[in-house]
Amino acid sequence: MNRIVQIGLCLLTILAGHAQAQDETITGRVTSAEDGAALPGVNVSVKGTSSGTATGADGVYRLNVPTNATLVFSFIGLVSQEIAVGSRTAIDVQLASNVRLLSEAVIIGYGAAVSKKEATGATSNVRGDAITNLPLQSFDRAMQGRVAGVQISSANGTPGGAVSVRIRGVGSITAGTQPLYIVDGVQLNNRSDGGATANTNPLAFLNPNDIESIDILKDAATAAIYGAQAANGVVLITTKKGKAGRTQVGFNAYTGITEPIRTLAVMNTQEFISTRIEASSTNRPTIPAETIRGNVLAELGFNRDLSDAEIAALPTYDWQKEAYKTGIVQNYEVTAQGGTDKTTFYSSLSYNKQDASLINVDFRRVAARISLTNKINDRITTETSLNLSSITQRGPYGGAGGSLAFGAPQYSAPLILPFNPITNPDGSFYGLPASGVVMPGDLSQNVIANANFIKSSVVSNQAVGNLTVTYKINDHLFVRGLGGIDFRSLKGSFYGDPRLSDYFAIRGTLTNFLSDNLNYNTNVTLNFSKSLNKHSLSGLGGVEYRSDVNEGTSLNAQGFPSPDFTTANAAAEPSSVGGFWTGVKRAAVFGNLRYDYDKKYLFSAVLRYDGSSRFGANNQWGLFPSLSAKWLLSEEAFLKASPVVSDLGLRASVGSTGNDQIDNFASRRLYGLNGVYQGNSGTGPSLLGNSNLRWERNVTYNVGLDYGFFGGRIKGAVDVFRRISRDLLLDRSIPATNGFTNAQNNTTSFITENIGEVINEGIEWEVTTVNLDRGNRFRWETSFNVSAIRNEVTKLSEGVDVLPGDLTVRVGYPLFTNVAVPFAGVNPANGRPMWYDPNGNLTYLVRTADQRPLGHNDLSKYFGGLTNTFTMGGLELSVFFQYDYGRTAYNGQEFRLADNAGVLRNGLTYYRDNRWTTPGQITAVPRPAENRTELSGRVSSYQTAGRFYQDASYIRLKQLTLAYKLPKSLLESGKISGVRIYAQAINLLTWTEWTGFDPEFLSLGGNGNQGIVPTSRNYTFGIQVQL
């Protein structure tokens, strides 16, 4: 780094001075282009000289200038203007806010931006106002459906929970698939921690309303500047900055409700009892029906002589209704911004609370933010921003991301036998252990009591801040240094209440964990730009360093005197302690060179040399180049005058990016801890290592067309890409006989190697049209985007067609290929389920070895969104549809709900209604059978995965917003400058054939949608006031 500073200082010495002469006096007034108000403090200077002045309070300036001078009007937050004086003596100027400029510009990394026209890479942009006031806790979720080529899915419905963002498909098998996020230059650590307690999302630290703009670098042309972290794309977030002028204070509040999208139709008490009798009869053909009836009633806790009339009178309790409830959404925020020509600021404070549709699961965030820009002098500008947030998330028992815990309401509510009451007549919870009452059925825990008594939460305190210093060496050259910190501390706690059946015997349990992550990064860049005649050259070069350290401790204690004591010191017996430490360091040098001729032919080259401590000693450093070009056809003579074509640019790029999202020490040969014996800690081998480990390398080819017709009434882009992900970091499974698989300490036998290859190819189309424009009276705008992506695994280890340990990864198939033994329906003769063996013959036996691809996969074929915005005066209606097509997912939840009383859990009425009952009946639902199996012999369970794959395509009315801006005439009396009232609905309608709670989920941890907190529907109402 010292070297860079030295060079920078050297550069100071080559600054040139200028002589000048004074000839004429120019006067004028500078006003705002938006409201015509006078702009005080605007810097007015003569181009190429140091002479200048500033406007007064009335916006008026007076300046002596040489002949043929050019005046430069500049003000922070506004678009600078250069005006040749010519023979004039008075020049009035209107300056526009550069918010507009920002949205038209493309951020290309390390603070550099080019205009949309000049961008040679495939990038997409989401403007902050498109996602303002959505009742979503993190901006990643808010981007869903708004960007071509970017597929965003919530892992589950927890507010502020994990989100998967896949830019241009899935290009890795075992390494990470999430993009690099950069907020105001700070590279974030986006690992989701604390999963067992609550589902956290590190991006939730930022109030989405504080975002000015989100830029997504999709191809290597621009992303390669981030080298080894860019293979999954780069998302650059620019937060709001202050605008000079009068301090503006804004208040914004919205509130509303959140409710379950659907609940499942399960059997009532009478249906369950009769189905159970059928199931029991199937396996006991020789036992008289009366005896079976009596036995079933007895096993369900009833008198075995109950009459039919008495059975008919038994009540049914709706457990889902108690688990999935309407919750509250609240958001309040205050912003203040303003400043002078030297210093501007933007500050905000916000509070956000949202309940999940599952009881006692919620999200609360307090976030404060300040952004300061200070111009020390003509040469040095500092920018700093600091985001502080504290998030408290209450999580469900069993975790939000998929739970099979019997005590988890999100899993068990539909499965509990329906005649079990939820509460006793006195209002206390039914079936708690101390009462001596045991709930019949496999699920004998009162999950609603669990949800009420268990205290499970994670508090994430996060600070993301940076300081940027820009030193302008001359008009063509500046140095920019950035130091950033992303600090996060997590405090998790799980208190298992001693009143609950899981914790009654151990008299309560408490697990606390503390972990913090310190991620700091720093970079220095030298930026230049120079034009000569029709040639323009610009670019930057720089160095970067990043370090990320994560450590934590945990404790578990048991034996609490009463449920009122919930801290660790109250526990009779400490039970275990834990701790961990891990870290990674990265360093890089990089450069970008851009050249254009006459703004018609544009070229850009990027080179980055990247090092990461994660890789083997032999391969720590990697080189990532990219080349891109653009031909702006609309600047050519033959189109320049065209009344139809206003913008037409053809882009092409090729480049390479890397992925290092693997375990920090995957390349090392390690011995780890392995249990305790006789009070002594043991050790054992934990990792075989691979000193040749190197980067996953993505090569992306992209051809794109940016278009605009009729002066921008129709505009958009089409991109075709091919992304080849090579040297994929695959865990080459080695036989467990080598001694590295141990369920005890969670090690598995593998060597991480660079052996796989996956290809993603696709086409993306974005279009925005202004369908009707009657000025202020009526305007109708439509935005549409669609992406089609094809994914294929083209290579695994030598001679291996299927990834051992993960049958869904196979050469010649897409990733996430669904694999099972295909279900062949039910034998109409006897009601037994059948499968196809590998020869296509019907069989009753499901052999593990017969599992094979079913011809579909868990990746979407097409996805995108459609927004229609109608504006009429102050009234605005925005209708946003989001769709996802072609994904076939495993409905693991239904896997558990199709037993037809084969086990003592409730199930869907669908399966009861369609069960096989009579010979000759054609149905896909087998006859009810106890333990879902035939009585004896070599039999397979009826419950096999092959039966439960479903089309998870959906179209959803994701967002409906109606807003009204009060006319200025109503506001004149007070000091209020603007009032906006709005109402919103999220996930209002969904069209899908999926039969589970909701088709939007990610199968994390292999449980599919079993026991996840489902997505919810929200209605909110809000008001925004600007002073």
Round to whole Å and give the CA distance between 470 and 480: 4
Nearer to another protein, 14 or 19 (CB): 14
Residue 477 touching another protein (CB under 8 A): yes
Instruction: Name 868's bridge partners.
Output: 782, 879
The encoded tokens of residue 250 equal: 């804004």
Shortest distance in whole angstroms from residue 74 CB to another protein: 23
Residue selected from 747, 791, 818, 961 as contacting another protein according to rule CB under 8 A: 747
Nearer to another protein, 180 or 228 (CB): 228
Tell me 422's DSSP state: S
Phi-psi region of 392 (alpha: psi -120 to 50; beta: other; left: phi over 0): beta
Q: Would you give the binding string for another protein spanning residues 705-744, x where CB under 8 A is met?
A: ----------------------------xxxxxxxxxxxx
Residue selected from 530, 599, 774, 968 as contacting another protein according to rule CB under 8 A: 530
Site for another protein in 299-328 (CB under 8 A): 299-301
Which residue bears the tokens 């998967």? 164
Dump the DSSP string for 96-127: -BHHHHHHHEEEEETTEEEEGGG--S-EEEEE
Round to whole Å and give the CA distance between 631 and 640: 13
Nearer to another protein, 291 or 683 (CB): 683
Tell me 1012's DSSP state: B
Residue 9 touching another protein (CB under 8 A): no
Shortest distance in whole angstroms from residue 747 CB to another protein: 8
The contacts of residue 730 (CB under 8 Å, 6+ apart) are 173, 174, 752, 753, 754, 755, 756, 796, 797, 803
Stretch of residues binding another protein (CB under 8 A), selected from 89-97, 263-271, 524-532, 632-640: 524-532
What is the maximum span of the chain, computed from C-alpha positions, in angstroms? 117
Nearer to another protein, 52 or 541 (CB): 541
Site for another protein in 151-190 (CB under 8 A): none
Residue 584 touching another protein (CB under 8 A): yes
Residue 443 touching another protein (CB under 8 A): yes
Shortest distance in whole angstroms from residue 220 CB to another protein: 19
Residue selected from 611, 831, 865, 892 as contacting another protein according to rule CB under 8 A: 611
Q: What amino acid is encoded at 488 in this protein?
A: R
Residue 466 touching another protein (CB under 8 A): no
CA distances from 942 to 667, 946, 996 (A): 43, 10, 20
Phi-psi region of 864 (alpha: psi -120 to 50; beta: other; left: phi over 0): left
Residue 873 touching another protein (CB under 8 A): no
Site for another protein in 334-363 (CB under 8 A): none
Shortest distance in whole angstroms from residue 477 CB to another protein: 6
Nearer to another protein, 327 or 622 (CB): 622
Residue 596 touching another protein (CB under 8 A): no
Residue 287 touching another protein (CB under 8 A): no
Q: Collapsing DSSP states into helix, strand and coil, what is residue 585? A: strand
Q: Is 840 exposed, middle or buried (0-12, 13-18, 19+ CB in 10 A)?
A: exposed
Residue 424 touching another protein (CB under 8 A): no
Stretch of residues binding another protein (CB under 8 A), selected from 16-24, 146-154, 261-269, 427-435: 427-435
Shortest distance in whole angstroms from residue 398 CB to another protein: 13
Of 465, 478, 385, 501, give the one whose Cα is nearest residue 188.
465
Round to whole Å and give the CA distance between 375 and 378: 7
Residue selected from 64, 384, 554, 931 as contacting another protein according to rule CB under 8 A: 931
Nearer to another protein, 102 or 225 (CB): 225
Site for another protein in 536-555 (CB under 8 A): 537, 539-541, 543, 545
Residue selected from 307, 848, 918, 969 as contacting another protein according to rule CB under 8 A: 848
Nearer to another protein, 706 or 934 (CB): 934
Nearer to another protein, 201 or 667 (CB): 667
Q: How many CB atoms lie within 10 A of CB 535?
A: 11
The encoded tokens of residue 918 equal: 């009579």
The encoded tokens of residue 43 equal: 């810097």
Size of the site for another protein (CB under 8 A): 119
Site for another protein in 932-951 (CB under 8 A): 933, 935-941
Residue 682 touching another protein (CB under 8 A): yes
Shortest distance in whole angstroms from residue 209 CB to another protein: 38
The contacts of residue 880 (CB under 8 Å, 6+ apart) are 145, 865, 866, 867, 868, 957, 958, 959, 960, 961
Residue 589 touching another protein (CB under 8 A): yes
Q: What amino acid is encoded at 213 in this protein?
A: S
Shortest distance in whole angstroms from residue 231 CB to another protein: 19
Residue selected from 673, 772, 842, 875 as contacting another protein according to rule CB under 8 A: 673
Helices (H), 145-228: 220-223
Q: What amino acid is encoded at 998 in this protein?
A: D
Residue 833 touching another protein (CB under 8 A): no
Element (H, E) at 970: helix 968-971
Of 953, 958, 955, give the one whose Cα is nearest residue 880.
958
Residue selected from 597, 671, 778, 991 as contacting another protein according to rule CB under 8 A: 671
The encoded tokens of residue 469 equal: 């210093």
Q: Would you give the binding string for another protein spanning residues 890-909, x where CB under 8 A is met?
A: -------------xxx----
Which residue bears the tokens 């000048």? 20
Site for another protein in 633-652 (CB under 8 A): none
Q: Is 680 exposed, middle or buried (0-12, 13-18, 19+ CB in 10 A)?
A: exposed
The encoded tokens of residue 648 equal: 């037409």
Site for another protein in 562-581 (CB under 8 A): 573, 575-576, 579-581
Round to whole Å and give the CA distance between 325 and 258: 8
Instruction: Name 260's bridge partners.
Output: 1016
Stretch of residues binding another protein (CB under 8 A), selected from 121-129, 358-366, 672-680, 755-763: 672-680
